[in-house]
């Protein structure tokens, strides 16, 4: 593995979720509890200290230690203090990228971004001898992200044939009513456990709760339902962090002043709504930023293109930035600008992530962008968590899969710096519908992948 922390000049900064982490690569630790932002302070690392043999959470604040000691020992100390949930990280570095791409491949900084303790759930009441029949209710396979996510679920199930008798999968086509019927049908087939990605958090709440009342454990993945007591655990990546980071990058890129349009995903889905709240939380700190319009794009490239085309026709050059919460609609938005006659270097700064095509288009057309993949590898984590629950192994009440920050070369801002650049993350030869953060074996191609799992 390459070094855990990559030096970016003399000063590298990591900001997310509610904490700013300043890495002044001179290697002496001096923690400061001032300059709070989103409620959490700053960390500085400075040069020239003697390495300590051990480190507790108190010694992090009281002692000066070397960078090497910090990198090796800090996560354990933070976890012991309840500052980091090491059991709920679900950190996955894409296998294909690990083997073939240059750049940063240490543990993602999201590994230490969560400042909160993560309660563990006692799953002993659901302990059961295998092999198990798992019901997997997917909101849809309507876009490239959802296809790669489902491939991860199938692949992981195939790795555990000795523990899984059957994986029964359904596709709700983003229709909450169909998903309710799907879940009821899975229950009637006698599944031992349910893994659910909810189309919307309100509509699915009751049926998920009824499953739990019937003694069927429910694990939510990607999208949750409203009532936390209706499921055991929720596997996700921090939508608060993602939303704040993208908004902060865009605001700083525009110098704190300008007009933007927002292109969120599906109305009513927990993922989209949390990201919007996180975006708006950041916008509140930049009074010079004006949101011209917010239009949902259903995480659909064609919808993103048509919506963006209408916004360009209406607002034209008044649009200084575009906040898309995913590359699904983000790639469509870029295509709308190109169709409107914008030349390379003229398209305003954009955010996005998840799918190779947007990174490729941004590189090809000289667009400033930040991308944060919502990792499809959480499908793999979902199967692993299901098996833990069925074995009676305690699980965190929330499992957050780590992600990396990807920026255009030269597009880092004061607060948001990339873990890697666009073409360190994908290559121009990658399939456009590839999810880079898939966690699947090297060479994964969504078009040629053949699911092999216990049906």
- Judge whether 119 and 228 are in contact, CB under 8 Å: no
pLDDT of residue 404: 86
Across the range 384-409, mean pLDDT stands at 94
Across the range 73-81, mean pLDDT stands at 38
Q: What is the DSSP string of 263-318?
A: E-SSTT-HHHHHHHHHHHHHHTT-TTEEEEEE---TT-HHHHHHHHHHHHHHHGGG
Asked whether the predicted pLDDT for residue 47 surpasses 70, the reply is: no
Across the range 4-31, mean pLDDT stands at 33
Fold classified for 237-370: Rossmann fold (3.40.50)
Please name every residue paired with 236 in a beta bridge, in sequence order, or none if there are none: 400
Asked whether the predicted pLDDT for residue 296 surpasses 80, the reply is: yes
CATH superfamily of 107-236+375-401: Response regulator (3.40.50.2300)
- Judge whether 401 and 271 are in contact, CB under 8 Å: no
Provide the 3-class DSSP secondary structure of residue 157: helix
- pTM of the complete model: 0.75
Asked whether the predicted pLDDT for residue 140 surpasses 50, the reply is: yes
pLDDT of residue 115: 53
pLDDT of residue 68: 35
pLDDT over 70 for what percent of the chain? 74
pLDDT digits (tens, 9 = 90+) for 228-245: 999 999 999 989 999 999
Average pLDDT, the chain: 80
Task: Kindly tell me the burial class for residue 124, based on how many C-beta atoms sit within 10 Å of its own C-beta (0-12, 13-18, 19 or more).
Answer: exposed
Asked whether the predicted pLDDT for residue 31 surpasses 70, the reply is: no
Asked whether the predicted pLDDT for residue 35 surpasses 90, the reply is: no
- Judge whether 363 and 428 are in contact, CB under 8 Å: yes
How far apart CA 403 and CA 94 sit, in angstroms, is: 10
Cβ neighbors of 210 (< 8 A, separation 6 or more) are: none
| Mean pLDDT lowest among 43-52, 182-191, 236-245, 363-372 | 43-52
Domain with CATH 3.40.50.2300 in the chain: 107-236+375-401, 237-370
């Amino acid at each position: 593995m390459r070094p855990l922390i990559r030096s970016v000049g003399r000063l590298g900064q990591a900001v997310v979720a509610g904490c700013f982490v300043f890495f002044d690569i001179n290697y002496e630790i001096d923690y400061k509890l001032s300059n709070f932002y989103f409620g959490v302070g700053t960390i500085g690392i400075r040069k020239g200290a003697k390495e300590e043999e051990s480190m507790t959470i108190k010694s992090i604040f009281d002692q000066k230690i070397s960078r090497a000691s910090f990198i090796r020992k800090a996560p354990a100390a933070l976890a012991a203090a309840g500052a980091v949930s090491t059991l709920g990280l679900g950190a996955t570095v894409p296998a294909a990228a690990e083997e073939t791409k240059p750049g940063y491949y240490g543990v993602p900084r999201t590994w230490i971004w969560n400042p909160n303790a993560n309660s563990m759930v006692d799953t002993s009441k659901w302990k059961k001898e295998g092999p198990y029949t798992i019901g997997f209710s997917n909101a849809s396979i309507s876009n490239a992200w959802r296809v790669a996510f489902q491939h991860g679920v199938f692949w992981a199930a195939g790795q555990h044939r000795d523990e899984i008798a059957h994986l029964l999968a359904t596709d709700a086509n983003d229709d909450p009513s169909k998903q309710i019927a799907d879940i009821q049908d899975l229950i009637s087939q006698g599944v031992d456990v349910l893994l659910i990605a909810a189309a919307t958090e309100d509509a699915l709440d009751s049926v998920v709760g009824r499953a739990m009342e019937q003694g069927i454990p429910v694990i939510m993945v990607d999208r949750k339902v409203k009532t936390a007591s209706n499921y055991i655990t929720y596997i996700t990546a921090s939508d608060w962090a993602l939303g704040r980071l993208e908004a902060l990058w865009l605001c700083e890129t525009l110098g704190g002043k300008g007009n933007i349009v927002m292109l969120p995903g599906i109305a009513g889905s927990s993922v989209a709504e949390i990201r919007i709240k996180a975006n708006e939380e950041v916008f509140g700190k930049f009074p010079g930023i004006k949101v011209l319009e917010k239009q949902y794009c259903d995480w659909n490239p064609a919808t993103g293109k048509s919506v963006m085309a209408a916004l360009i026709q209406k607002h034209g050059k008044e649009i200084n930035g575009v906040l898309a919460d995913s590359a699904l609609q983000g790639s469509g938005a870029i295509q709308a600008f190109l169709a409107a006659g914008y030349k390379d270097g003229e398209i305003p700064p954009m955010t996005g992530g998840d799918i190779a095509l947007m990174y490729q288009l941004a590189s090809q057309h000289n667009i400033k962008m930040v991308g944060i993949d919502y990792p499809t590898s959480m499908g793999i984590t979902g199967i692993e968590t299901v098996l833990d629950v069925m074995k009676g192994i305690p699980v965190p009440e929330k499992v957050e899969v780590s992600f990396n920050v990807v920026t255009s070369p030269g597009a880092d801002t004061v607060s948001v710096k990339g873990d890697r650049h666009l073409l360190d993350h994908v290559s121009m030869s990658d399939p456009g519908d590839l999810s880079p953060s898939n966690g699947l074996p090297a060479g994964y191609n969504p078009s040629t992948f053949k699911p092999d799992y216990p049906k």
